[in-house]
Chain A
């Protein structure tokens, strides 16, 4: 029995490990080798320069604190939303939930355009303030400030907290907090003593994802923050591409990876201590319609926050895609469907949509397999091995796309791995970024399952497979859908790695958007906005499709 179990867990751990070994560690080691070893000796000049140059120390410090502040802000703004989504039923909830994830797929140039339309010096808000309150100059100056970076990070990551914490919150039995109430605890005390500790695993999982995402932020920093701000990721790109100083880029990449590992390790240790098993509650028992003034205000206030924070920039974008110089029209939409420039690289929108969606589903399936195996192994594996492997599984999320892209060029160039020009590389690269989201979505749910539930099933005569299908699966299904939605979203919006591995014959929608923005002229700008609007629509349709699976599959907790 024991040996079967070991073999089983070896297979479970083997799937993600082999994938990482081939598509992550091997290319990385090859590029680090090339960068850091010349003529058989280590060239560690880069590291020396890193420590001795105040600029790099400052960059590292900035990278860390902006990520920490972004994470805290996202939590503060999104936790009430997670509560509302977990506890209340109201019409339009599914659509609202889908739309909160849309920011995640938008290229940062497009997000910058949206924010400019709203808050820029000639944006809606400043124009209104100047006209109605007689300001001589635009009162809101966000461009190229840290506030702009923080705001954009909240805008992007709101959905991560909303979904991961929301799904855990909806599994909590309301009777726990009701009991506390009855025993005379104030709402704040109940939250602090009961709800927060129970939610801690999922809150920390979401925080970790947000933190790593902001820690390796690239486009937001470059475009919204301007050149005065640089994260390590930005500096790696600068060194690798513009200066072609590979030893320096490799040193920075290694530092970035080490930092992520340390953060992850601290997190894993905290996480294990906090994990509490619980009998999960089904959704019908935890959610109700808001009744009374107070509850209605809570629900509406949160919806309002979402609409203002996330909705208004998106709406501004859609408006721009219809706003031609001489009034509202469909001219930009008509234009994207015709190859006006006769270019060989013209992308028919239908084709871009097909490639984007196809890659996204492929990445989704791969991410669920790899992330599912990784999460299962971590949930059941021994302490010592998981405290190393769990951080390792998260590393790809915080690895610079340019470093890995260069690694692919030199490592995957020979059979059997002659994949440099293959389109398979695209979903593979997307999976590397997407599956950590699946791990973090599923793991808290897996850990919360009391061992005796499975044991009882076994005692009642269920085979391990039956026990898994009938006991584990229904409990984690909601988390799997959350993970799937993230995998889909990450893939469809991915740009940094795609630009290195995509081929002109297989363009994705973000690539098409950037192509339009490469040349001057209002038609190019308008078409980029129209393509962005299509990207939002396709993403939202994808979410609704994925959510449907969860509703129709029934028997769910």
Chain B
């Protein structure tokens, strides 16, 4: 019998895991409010604790893949929503979300502290929470060592001295990739952007499918890669400083923020139609727009808060820059042409 002991041990262990949730996961006395979001969402433990304490609720999170995957799951589950609040629809996905009609509108009083530029949905089904600029980043040391001027515009990238230096993401699979494609469309116009991309292709641009591969696999400042220019966020340099091993005076990378070179990505949250706790959900939306939460956003997600009263942390104030005049492409335009633009891009750049 002894030799079977080990099997029983494994069986017992697995049963414990399988049934472990029945206790501890569902306290009956306190209400639970659920936020559905994407993988990149983060917030400080203490901040959520404040809301939980004030309202005597438990806040739970459901993360459902990348921004696109999470939104699609929210749409698929509209008959029986998985959560009360969805956080993380950006302006490239906004029309899809509004068309599906999965949100109820809410005129939060806190919107008074938010610049009108961010309120793309005037019905307030989707409320802006944060924003960031998708733009070129470059490896400062690489350009300094070689005595080459770092890029200042989109046009620079097609100059002969920048041949083979850039890595960009595929707009069909990556949201910074799509943002950068939109930046070129906004800058050159929908008739001419493909000419730019053809030049870029001739200048040996490298395309990766995701930000991770571009940044961690190809970008010379962050990896064994050899390309000193990458498409990332204007807030990536402060992240380099914040997550450095030793305190740094200066970021090793810099963002190109000249007029007409960046696409502004705005992220929204909304209350899901048919949710179980609409009242607390409204309170939570207010809380997310209020100073406490907004001031926590930069160092957790490396994006900017929309509340103009929120103070930026020091590393942001010192190292982060905003795009001077980000390009303008409306959510309706994006919704209407998205597939076509990506298709045309794929044919001209990849095949």
* B14, A406: Cβ atoms closer than 8 Å: no
* A521, B223: Cβ atoms closer than 8 Å: no
Interface residues on B, range: 35 or more
In whole Å, how far is A263's beta carbon from the nearest beta carbon of chain B?
27
* B239, A520: Cβ atoms closer than 8 Å: yes
* B96, A244: Cβ atoms closer than 8 Å: yes
- One of B43, B80, B209 near A222 (C-beta < 8 A): B209
Interface members, chain B 313-351 (any A CB < 8 Å): 338-339, 342, 350-351
With contact pairs A409-B77, A424-B21, A525-B216 given, residues A343 and B42 touching in the complex (Cβ less than 8 Å): yes
Q: Does A362 contact B (CB under 8 A)?
A: yes
* A521, B244: Cβ atoms closer than 8 Å: yes
Interface members, chain B 205-246 (any A CB < 8 Å): 206-210, 212-213, 215-218, 222-226, 232, 236, 239-246
Interface members, chain A 464-490 (any B CB < 8 Å): none
- The chain B residue with its CB closest to the CB of A122 is B224
* A521, B242: Cβ atoms closer than 8 Å: yes
* A504, B61: Cβ atoms closer than 8 Å: yes
Q: Does A113 contact B (CB under 8 A)?
A: yes
Q: Does A169 contact B (CB under 8 A)?
A: no
* A361, B302: Cβ atoms closer than 8 Å: no
Stretch at the interface among B66-74, B153-161, B256-264: B66-74
What sequence of 0s and 1s flags, for each residue 330-359 of chain A, a beta carbon within 8 Å of any chain B beta carbon?
A: 010000000101111110000000000011
Q: Which residue numbers of A lie inside 8 Å of B, CB to CB? A: 34, 109, 112-113, 116-117, 120-123, 138, 143-144, 222-223, 226-228, 237-238, 240-244, 324-326, 331, 339, 341-346, 358-359, 361-362, 364-366, 402, 405-406, 409-410, 413-414, 420-424, 427, 499-500, 502-505, 514-515, 517-526, 549, 552-554
With contact pairs A227-B207, A424-B18, A525-B216 given, residues A358 and B13 touching in the complex (Cβ less than 8 Å): yes
Interface members, chain B 274-319 (any A CB < 8 Å): 299-300, 302
- One of B14, B77, B96, B207 near A226 (C-beta < 8 A): B207
* B170, A227: Cβ atoms closer than 8 Å: yes
- The chain A residue with its CB closest to the CB of B2 is A552
In the assembled complex, which residues on chain A have CB atoms less than 8 Å from the CB atom of B342? 242-243
- One of B14, B62, B73, B338 near A503 (C-beta < 8 A): B62
* A521, B243: Cβ atoms closer than 8 Å: yes
Tell me, in angstroms, the Cα distance from A183 to B21 when the chains sit together: 65
What sequence of 0s and 1s flags, for each residue 158-181 of chain B, a beta carbon within 8 Å of any chain A beta carbon?
A: 000000000000101100000000
In the assembled complex, which residues on chain A have CB atoms less than 8 Å from the CB atom of B241? 521
Indicate the member of B10, B47, B80, B218 with the most A CB atoms within 10 Å.
B10
Chain A to chain B contacts (Cβ below 8 Å), 28 pairs = A116-B225, A121-B224, A222-B213, A226-B213, A238-B173, A242-B173, A244-B68, A342-B44, A342-B46, A343-B44, A344-B47, A345-B41, A358-B16, A358-B20, A362-B14, A362-B18, A364-B14, A409-B73, A420-B82, A423-B21, A424-B18, A427-B14, A499-B65, A500-B69, A520-B236, A521-B242, A522-B245, A523-B244
In whole Å, how far is B256's beta carbon from the nearest beta carbon of chain A?
16
Tell me, in angstroms, the Cα distance from A339 to B44 when the chains sit together: 10
- The chain A residue with its CB closest to the CB of B213 is A223
In the assembled complex, which residues on chain B have CB atoms less than 8 Å from the CB atom of A503? 61-63
Interface members, chain B 27-69 (any A CB < 8 Å): 39-48, 60-66, 68-69
Interface members, chain B 67-89 (any A CB < 8 Å): 68-69, 72-73, 75-77, 79-80, 82
* A521, B46: Cβ atoms closer than 8 Å: no
* B73, A226: Cβ atoms closer than 8 Å: no
Indicate the member of B6, B10, B76, B224 with the most A CB atoms within 10 Å.
B224
In whole Å, how far is B295's beta carbon from the nearest beta carbon of chain A?
13
Tell me, in angstroms, the Cα distance from A324 to B245 when the chains sit together: 8
With contact pairs A326-B245, A341-B300 given, residues A514 and B39 touching in the complex (Cβ less than 8 Å): yes
- The chain A residue with its CB closest to the CB of B252 is A522
Q: Does B149 contact A (CB under 8 A)?
A: no
Tell me, in angstroms, the Cα distance from A191 to B63 when the chains sit together: 53
* A120, B224: Cβ atoms closer than 8 Å: yes
